[in-house]
Amino acid sequence: MSRSDRLTLVAGGAGFIGSHLCRMLLDAGERVVCLDNMQTSRASNLAALLSHENFEFVQADITAPLPSAIVSRTRQYHRIYNLACAASPPRYQADPEHTMLTNVVGTNYLLRLAEASGARFLLTSTSEVYGDPEMHPQREDYRGNVSCTGPRACYDEGKRAAETLTFDFARNGRADVRVARIFNTYGPNMDPDDGRVVSNVICQALSGNPITIYGDGSQTRSFCYVTDTAEALRRLMEVDEIGLEPVNIGNPRELTVRELVDLVVKMMGRPAEVRNAPLPVDDPRRRKPNIDRAKALLGWEPATELEAGIQATMNWFANELGEDVVVTATVDDLDRHRRKRPATSDIVREAATG
C-alpha cells in the first residue's frame, strides 16, 4: 500500500485534544479520518478541519459496531488513535454507563479494527487511573488508589479496564499498542462549559462572576498545554521500542488550585471574588506526573510555560465568548455576545457546498 493510500483514524478527533492532534497529523501529511459521536465534542472544532483535502469526518458512536464508512477501508489504516471519551467529571458522570461502555466496548471495537488492519493502536488513558494517589509524583508503575464504586469510577475504572484490554491484545500478539496516561491538559478548543478547573476559572474571571474554588484550594494539579500533549501522543505513536508499559504525558510543574486562581486573576489585571464550594467526592488531593519515561523514550517534555499557555487560553476564551468582551463585561454581556454554535450537520453541509 502506498503512503498516499494509508489512513490514520482518530476516534474522538472532534474533541479538545483530538482536534489539535488531527491538525498536527494533517500538517505532517497524514490522511486523517475523524470518528466522533459529538456527544461532548464541539462542532466548531470541526470547522477548522473540514476544508482540508486530507480530512474526513464520520459521525458514529464507538459503543456500537463501527459503521461501514470505517470498516470498509480496514486494510488502509496504519495508525489508530483512541481519544474517544468524555474527560471532564461533570460530562462523564452525566451518563456513567455510556462512559464505561465507551472505554471498554469502544476500545474493544477499535482494537479489533487494529488487529484486522495491522495498524498500530494508541489508547489515551488518564492520570485518573492513579485515583487519589499515595505516591507522589506518580510513576507509571504505581498501581493507584481508586474507588471502584464512587461517582468517578465509570471513568477511572473504565480507563483502567481499557488499558487491561489493550495490553492483553499486545500480549497475545494481536496488535501493536501504545498507552498514554494524560494528565490535566488545557488550551484553545476547550468547551467553556466543560466543568474543568482551567475553563471554569478563566470563564468566571472573564465574566466577572465569583470564581469557584472547591475545598480550600490546597489540592494540587499540573497543567500541560494542549499542543504539547498532542505532540507527545504523535511521538508515542511513532516510537518503535515501547514495551508493555504506559507512558505519563503531562507537565511536572505542580501548583495548587488557589495558585492557579491567583495567576489568572493577576493576568486579568483586576480583583475577583472567590467563593468556596464543597470538595467533590474522590477528588484527588495531589496530582503530578513523573515524566522520566516520556523524556527517555520520546525525547519529549512540555515546551509551553504555564503563563504563556494561560494567556493564550484566556485570549481564546475571550474571543470565543465574544470579540468585544472586555474584562469588565457582565454575565449578561457574555451571553449576549456568545456566538451561536452551528449544528454538526450544518458545518458538514457548508463544507460540502463550498
- Helices 16-27 & 226-238 angle (0-180, nearest 10): 60
Task: Check residue 321 and give its pLDDT.
Answer: 84
Which pLDDT value is given to residue 327? 33
DSSP-based three-state secondary structure for 305: coil
> DSSP E strands: which ranges in 46-174?
55-59, 77-82, 120-126
* Beta-carbon contacts of residue 160 (< 8 Å; ≥ 6 apart): 125, 129, 144, 146
- pLDDT given at position 336: 31
Residue ranges and CATH numbers for the domains of the chain are 3-353 (3.40.50.720)
Query: What pLDDT was estimated at residue 80?
Result: 98
The values of phi and psi at residue 276, to 5°, are -100, 145
Total residues belonging to the chain: 354
Low-confidence ranges of the chain (pLDDT < 50): 323-354
For the whole model, what pTM was predicted?
Answer: 0.89
Strand locations in the chain (E): 7-11, 32-36, 55-59, 77-82, 120-126, 176-182, 185-186, 211-214, 220-222, 224-225, 247-249, 254-256, 274-277
Alpha carbons 119 and 9: distance in angstroms, whole number: 10
Residues designated as active site = 155
pLDDT at 241: 83
Query: CB-based contacts of 45: which residues, under 8 Å, 6+ apart?
Result: 14, 15, 16, 18, 19, 189
Contact between 175 and 111 (Cβ < 8 Å): yes
Q: Which of 257, 275, 256 is nearest to 204 (CA)?
A: 275
* Residue 1, pLDDT score: 64
Give yes or no for a contact between 229 and 185, defined as CB atoms under 8 angstroms apart.
Answer: yes
Burial 124-146 (b: 16+ CB within 10 A, else e): bbbbbbbbbbeeebbebebebeb
92-138 residue pLDDT tens: 999 999 999 999 999 999 999 999 999 999 999 999 999 999 999 99
- Scan for cell 464505561, then name that residue: 100
Give me the pLDDT at residue 348, please: 45
Handedness of CA 130, 136, 141, 143 (dihedral sign): negative
Cα–Cα distance list, 153 to 145, 160, 275, 289 (Å): 11, 10, 28, 21
